[in-house]
Amino acid sequence: MKLFLVPTPIGNLADITLRSLDVLRQADAILCEDTRTSGVLLKHYDIQKPLLSYHQHNEHKVLEQFINRLQSGQTLALITDAGTPGISDPGFLLLRECTRQGIPVECLPGATAFVPALVQSAIPTHSFVFEGFLPVKKGRKTKMEQMALEPRTMVLYESPHRLAKTLTELGNYLGKNRIASVSRELTKFYEETRRGSLEELAQYYLNHPPKGEIVVVLAGTDGQPKIVDEDKKSKHDED
């Protein structure tokens, strides 16, 4: 009886760990967001196990069913379409209920999109906050006002069709010169990371609509380069 949370590749299928493959092969069943998407990965590694749907639209409905399976002695593996379960993906509800019921849970280390995006952003990584997806409507303005005062580096996910708009809005609240980076299609053939000010990035993606998964990294107030007023600097030097 145990629930394993198993990270899966965010793009390149070779990024799965050997231990993750062992767990998937030994599980009694595998819970997944989309059986078609997960089926590609499992077929690639010749893993033949029952696939059970578990996603944001049914996680409340099927929760008791999977708890009963675990309590009967089964070992279940939870995977998502890409990355680590529970990180802006389904997983928390099941994990919490397992904890309440005394069912052992183990999360394996592995792929997640925000770590490589953060590391290669060239923005300070010693202290950061993960924001996930920003609110689309209610609470969006309040969240951006809070982010404007955040001293730590900020990491968030965004959909490609909202990227340019979000970068523009962030520029309005955090300042158009706030340094940021945008990573997309990580580990895939068209992987790209662009760095610059929010104004520069917003303009670029307005003219070049992106595709794929997006991770945005923003400098906090402590990591933002100070803008020097050259007139004042020259006057100070003269004095």
Domains recognised in the chain with CATH numbers: 2-107 (3.40.1010.10), 114-218 (3.30.950.10)
Is pTM, for the whole model, over 0.85?
yes
What local confidence, expressed as pLDDT, does residue 62 receive? 95
Average pLDDT estimate for 48-68? 95
Q: What is the pLDDT of residue 108?
A: 97
Question: pLDDT, tens digit, for every residue of 162-218?
Answer: 999 999 999 999 999 999 999 999 999 999 999 999 999 999 999 999 999 999 999
Q: How confident is the model at residue 72 (pLDDT cuts 50, 70, 90)?
A: very high
**What's the Rg (C-alpha) of the chain?**
21
Q: What is the pLDDT of residue 225?
A: 75
- How far is it, in rounded angstroms, from Cα 120 to Cα 183? 9
Helix, strand, or coil (residue 58):
coil
Cα–Cα distances (Å) from 119 to 25, 111, 113, 153, in that order, read: 32, 14, 11, 11
Query: Whose structure tokens read 């004095």?
Result: 239
The pLDDT of residue 57 is 92
- Residue 203, burial from CB neighbour count under 10 angstroms (0-12, 13-18, 19+): middle
Residue 5: predicted pLDDT: 97
**Dihedral sign, CA of 97, 72, 90, 125?**
positive
Which pLDDT value is given to residue 172? 97
pLDDT at residue 238, rounded to an integer: 52
Q: Is the pLDDT of residue 77 over 70?
A: yes
Question: How high is the pLDDT of residue 226?
Answer: 62
Percent above pLDDT 70 for the chain: 94
pLDDT digits (tens, 9 = 90+) for 92-140: 999 999 999 999 999 999 999 999 999 999 999 999 999 999 999 999 9
Question: Over the chain, what is the mean pLDDT?
Answer: 93
* pLDDT bucket at 232, cuts 50 / 70 / 90: very low
Q: Element (H or E) spanning 167, and its range?
A: helix 163-174
Are residues 217 and 117 in contact, defined by beta-carbon separation less than 8 angstroms?
Answer: yes
Q: Is there a contact between 114 and 82 (Cβ–Cβ < 8 Å)?
A: no
What is d(CA 85, CA 91) in angstroms, rounded to the nearest whole number?
Answer: 5
103: CB partners within 8 A, 6+ apart: 1, 2, 3, 67, 70, 71
Whether residue 157 is predicted with pLDDT greater than 70 in this model: the reply is yes
Percentage of the chain lying above the pLDDT 90 cut? 90
- Indicate if the alpha-carbon torsion angle 38, 40, 46, 48 is positive or negative: positive
